[in-house]
Structure 1
């Protein structure tokens, strides 16, 4: 198919180039017209066969077809390039290859290589080799193209491709949502946005082609050679910073845990216990609808108080998880004021509760410390204390349930992960129209299968909580366990069972159910299934006779970023249905020891940063040993409350401070009141 596309491209370009040259058109018209033709043919080729070979074939066909240009053709460009032509060609190809294989993967997408089971030594070794192979093939094509105008065309096209790749990689917004698992979240792009993107592509492509050809004619090839060398130096420097920052996210997960107990959650029947269940990206307002549609939850959640007027310190885990574990001293704003390495402050936040409870003769079981030490999965080596057991849920639990359910868990090789990063880098540097084609036609299937496995893993881990629990401990226990099923609901059906294909519902049905998008419906289902599974675990604790003597907190670190509106009664009354408010709308439910009765609702303002203070009441209060034994109190509830919006990636922050893009201030202690929110100046 690639060969057929190449031949068709040659024939089409030859005919059109001749007609454009013969027509009485100005150069300022002919060049944009030819450029748009090549661009359109590349889009068509990628649509038919989405491979690098088809795209490269179109560019080579365009270079060969330049022979169809009558008269002087590309002579002015050939003269301007002079003896710098081959150097510029090779440098452009090498830089473009490095951009796709090395620079962009390290600086943009490789935010947590440990999470991908892939580390930089492997990435640099393998991808650098592949990049050099591209350079060798390009040099071979140049050597075979003995006609000067073809070599000139190859050089100009390579330079234009590099310029477009740089502009789209680093200067133009990516335009796609964050990834879930190993694929992009399925957020619908509005028609208006698509039209604007098409217009942007046309303007950017024509502008870059016109600017480069004019500059080559005026200044020749030497300045471009120097500029390309300088670009490489700067990109190498940025990548080096990424290599140094790779330790943020490099470790973590069950494979790197020092110890993996078969039953890491432990409870005493004769002493008081504390349990914190951390549910990533669980939007708090969902509780209203869940309690209405599943009234039996009132029995399973007996003794609980739901605090709907909660709020998080940010819209993602990196901003929300640290105050959730460490209190108000670990919001992004407060951490920035400390002027200390963020990794150290992250460890501090995760250490507050283990430090205090272990000193009060509690055994502490921290299971799945996501975010610990500025790592995605959480690195237990940073939490080494007496009486503290930091671990992860054993992978055997997931594998056993997968075998029983007949659910395939596709483990990707390191080479597959490296290929994924190259695919993502190609998408990052492509035009918007090419991005759309890559998303629709690209080789995503292996990564989609793996993402389905992510949903299954989180579901299986949550359902396995009873199997992971030992209820015969002698000492009091603090248990902290996390789960991200509410974050990864895309392969969960409405019966709360994982499946191998994404949930598919018509847009009419989605709107009938009161949702703005499939993304919104998926998260609603994920939240409901998550809470139902937690409720089943609570029923297990009742049967095991450790429920009444256990204080329990169910909490999330933030709300949802994406096309999700909040149609709950409080949001509608306060005018805060829009997603800008939903992003920080965390969940918080608390059960005191001995509490009974149906779920009660408290309208008190209760940010999730109150969790340390809430659980520390069990031991008479806590202190922060890193701040001169400062008492963990509720000072942060005083007006105003600050929510900082920072990049979600660990290595996108400064070493000693979060990159705060904007800050929202809440005054009046009512997160449902739109009048109380304002952006800081």
Structure 2
């Protein structure tokens, strides 16, 4: 029963608070400000409810005041049963029921569920632990600013109480003593309850009291609504300026925020238009309570069925075995029941509660909006539901997805939704809303029937699943890398953001790596041409024609085309000039898409493109986490299934925003990070199964991109595997460094694959490069300290020259022996030359017709010019050139570790 009541009453508010926190966290990146943002969001959301509460309280005060003289006379003249009978009779005469006295505490009653939701959320929020804000050292613990003896003095709860008392004094001015006592007693109760609570929770409630005090001050003004609107407009404009010109995000996010700001500014005009609509087209339901209530409640029922049962059950019914045995719940029907309860809390409890608090005009607006939501949701769910590919049990799409945010179909979608909104008022007037009620009822019955059919289908499939001994259906792994036993193979591994500084420590911690990486040369003195993939990776794939400076010099060719050329240059050379087969995976910024877009490969049928990142996560978890692990899919599914329903019901243009890389705006950043780590870890762990070895007619070129080294997560040493609780961090001096954990994990799994090549006799006829696009944003011990130089190179955000220090390991054919460290000055753009040398005589770039140099020493003799630009997204640059100011070009020569090797190039050297 407690779970039922919590899910119905508290969970909808919990979900609202979580989404607000996640939004502010994304915008500000500051935990403390995000907590304050939650307080702002909740306060704004509750303002209409507080307005209703204020009216009810005022009505109660007036009634009590008007009855007070007679009640005093009755009290003075009668006692016992006579007093009771006279008082009851007087109440009847005044049409008053003692239960109405609850109106005086309605404002407090509103706060209770929000308090419980906020308490539940903030008390268990992982990101509060260890986070500091202003004078608060740890928002996950008591602020304990100082102590008296052994007693911690928490300043925040005391400040909260003082603010609450001041607010109460303002609010209760001129009111009766009992009203004042209610406010002051409430303040003391919250002091007792919250005194030992985490500082983050107390900060939230303190800010609530601050905003409550501001609200009370507004109530004392002559025209509070107008003043509030002006203040809100100022806040909206300032926020819009920050979002548009300072905050780094995708344009669709900025557009949505800008539309919200515009709506606030033009709110008076909107209110006038709504009032005109109520007096005209919608007047037929303003005066017809029965039709109005029925229309609203039936719409709530339809949205409940669609969100809580139909979409979740349809998803699970598509593959019940995939959702069986997840977490603590073997039967997938549990997740449908849980999501149904969550949806019931929103649409069957809170929506009607809010509706019946208001008068007939507001009810009419709510009935119209809810009806419009029904038909828009149905249209989006069934007419404009695109195919996004397979979905994992954690509700992430297995294939990187093009959400078509800006496309012809998304524009048609918006046009249809606008047309629906505009047509509904006139249809209501024409048919008096009764036809809409009938149509919505038919939809409700149909959705109910679909839900029942899906539930029966799932139940039947689950029974068969149990009879089969819980045999789990999972995606099979087919080899995508086909290496040759009798011909040469060339393999390129691009490990995003892998760092050279960890290599020595990795091999010292695990000496077996020396044998695994026999024949490799470790180039340590290496520089990258940028600190981000967008500008740092093209040269790695395509050589010196694709450094940022050279790409800018080809100003007549779009950047996206040049990037695609770089990705395809080596596979085209090997297939067209050497006769090899070629396979590439997860191309870096292919087609400048934010997902794994392989379409640019299709004109070249000899080149095979694959996605490996995220493709094997679900299978890996099922094979390795039989008793559960981190990133528990059961808990993720419980939380995300309702949000997946909202995703289905939303317009095409908003789906990428709602999806948010598979997190659906969850505040559990650890689960999101775990997901990304597993998406990449699983691909590397399955390398042997992804590789086939046989006699072939020609050699093979393979390029695999993996981003495990870009992430940070503690893993279980000595094998560095993902587990629920890490008990062994290893023996390295970097054992507390989360980057080190993911990078040694990548090197270990790749080392196992190298052993696999040796076991199959193809290690000697395989040439391998392991390289990264850039280093990490931080200092390195081996780099000569120079704070002034680093501050100039920082580019406004990143510190240290380590950001431009990538990993570079190379093994040639028939190479053997212990790992050799070579201090020759290199760049990661030497990769194509290392791979081609001795295989292709005078290799030609098929896109430009230029010779790819096999000896690059002359190109580096006078140093190389790199970009420190922080414009790491395609939208941040021009169509044909990277937006790089003069101050963001640097020259590096001979030794990247010496400060004197870094200098400013001349304007002539960077002439574009």
Q: Give the TM-score taking structure 2 as reference length.
A: 0.47
* Deviation by residue 1:605-641 (Cα, 9 ceiling, x = unmatched): 1211000111122222422233333434525323221
Secondary structure of the structure 2 residue equivalent to 1:540: helix
1:404 aligns to 2:628 (yes or no): no
Residue 870 of structure 2 corresponds to residue 654 of structure 1: no
CA distance in 2, matches of 1:88, 1:676: 56
1:298 counterpart = 2:505? no
Aligned to 2:541: 325
SS in 1 for 2:609: strand
Contact 1:283 1:559 in 2 (8 A): yes
1:669 maps to which of 869, 894, 898 = 894
2:840 to 619, 640, 645: 619
1:461 aligns with 2:613: no
String of CA shifts for 1:339-363, please: whole Å, max 9, x gaps: 2321111111111112111102111
SS in 1 for 2:703: strand
* Equivalent position to 1:65, from 217, 223, 247: 217
Alignment CA distance shift 1:99-1:55 (3 Å): farther
Alignment gaps of 5+ in structure 1: 20-43, 69-73, 112-119, 144-251, 425-442
| 1:320-347 residue CA offsets vs partner (Å, 9 max, x unmatched) | 1111001111111221222232111111
Deviation at 1:390, TM superposition (A): 0.9
Structure 2 counterpart of 1:209: none
Tell me the CA shift for residue 462 of structure 1: 0.9
Contact residue 865 and residue 905 of structure 2 kept, 8 A: no
**CA deviations over 1:537-578 (Å, ceiling 9, x no partner):** 11011112221111111111110014xx3235xx46999997
CA distance in 2, matches of 1:127, 1:253: 32
Q: Does residue 391 of the first structure (1) align with residue 610 of the second (2)?
A: yes
Shift of 1:130: 12
Which among 279, 282, 286 is matched to residue 502 of structure 2?
Answer: 286
Question: What does residue 469 of structure 2 align with?
Answer: none
Alignment partners' CA distance in 2, 1:127 and 1:576: 39
The one-character-per-residue Cα deviations of 1:277-317 (angstroms, maximum 9, x if unpaired) are 11111111211222222222121111111111111101111
Residue 625 of structure 1: SS of its match in structure 2? coil
Measured at CA, do residues 587 and 498 of structure 1 come closer, stay the same or move farther in structure 2, by a change above 3 Å?
same
- State the structure with more CA Rg: 2
What SS class does the counterpart of residue 534 from structure 2 fall into? helix
Distance of 1:133 and 1:273 partners within structure 2: 62
Spell out, residue by residue over 1:25-69, the C-alpha distance to the aligned partner (whole angstroms, 9 max, x if none): xxxxxxxxxxxxxxxxxxx99943788x9968854641422456x
Q: 1:471 aligns with which of 679, 693, 702?
A: 693
Question: What secondary structure is seen at the aligned counterpart in 1 of 2:549?
Answer: helix
Distance 1:292 1:47, change over 3 A: closer
Query: For the Cα contact (< 8 Å) 1:335–1:657, is it kept in 2?
Result: yes
Cα 1:294/1:476, change in 2 over 3 Å: same
Quote the residue 1:597 is aligned against. Answer: 817
Query: What's the CA shift for 1:87?
Result: 7.3
Contact 1:367 1:390 (8 Å CA) reproduced? yes
Structure 2 residue 110 is matched with structure 1 residue 110: no
What CA distance in whole angstroms lies between the structure 1 residues aligned with 2:545 and 2:706?
Answer: 24
Tell me whether 1:363 sits opposite 2:569 in the alignment: no
SS class of match (1:393): coil
Are residues 423 and 462 of structure 1, via their aligned partners in 2, closer, same or farther at CA, if it must alter by over 3 Å? closer
Residue aligning to 1:346: 563
- What is the TM-score normalised by the length of structure 1? 0.62
Question: For the Cα contact (< 8 Å) 2:614–2:678, is it kept in 1?
Answer: no
Question: What is the RMSD computed on CA atoms of the aligned residues?
Answer: 4.8
Deviates more, 1:318-327 or 1:446-455: 446-455
Match of 2:903 in 1: 678
Contact 1:281 1:558 (C-alpha < 8 Å) held by counterparts: yes
Q: Give the one of 800, 804, 827 matched to 1:580.
A: 800
Q: 1:583 Cα shift?
A: 0.8
For the residue of structure 1 that corresponds to 2:592, the secondary structure is coil
| C-alpha spacing 1:97/1:559, structure 2 compared with 1 (3 Å) | closer
Higher relative contact order (CA 8 A, sep 6+): 1
| Aligned residues of 1:663 and 1:679 also touching (Cα < 8 A) | no
Unaligned runs of 5+ in 2: 1-107, 116-159, 174-196, 275-396, 403-475, 791-798, 907-912
Change (3 A) 1:677 1:96: closer
Contact 1:93–1:135 (CA<8 Å) still a contact in 2?
no
Q: CA deviation at 1:449?
A: 1.1
SS in 2 for 1:583: helix
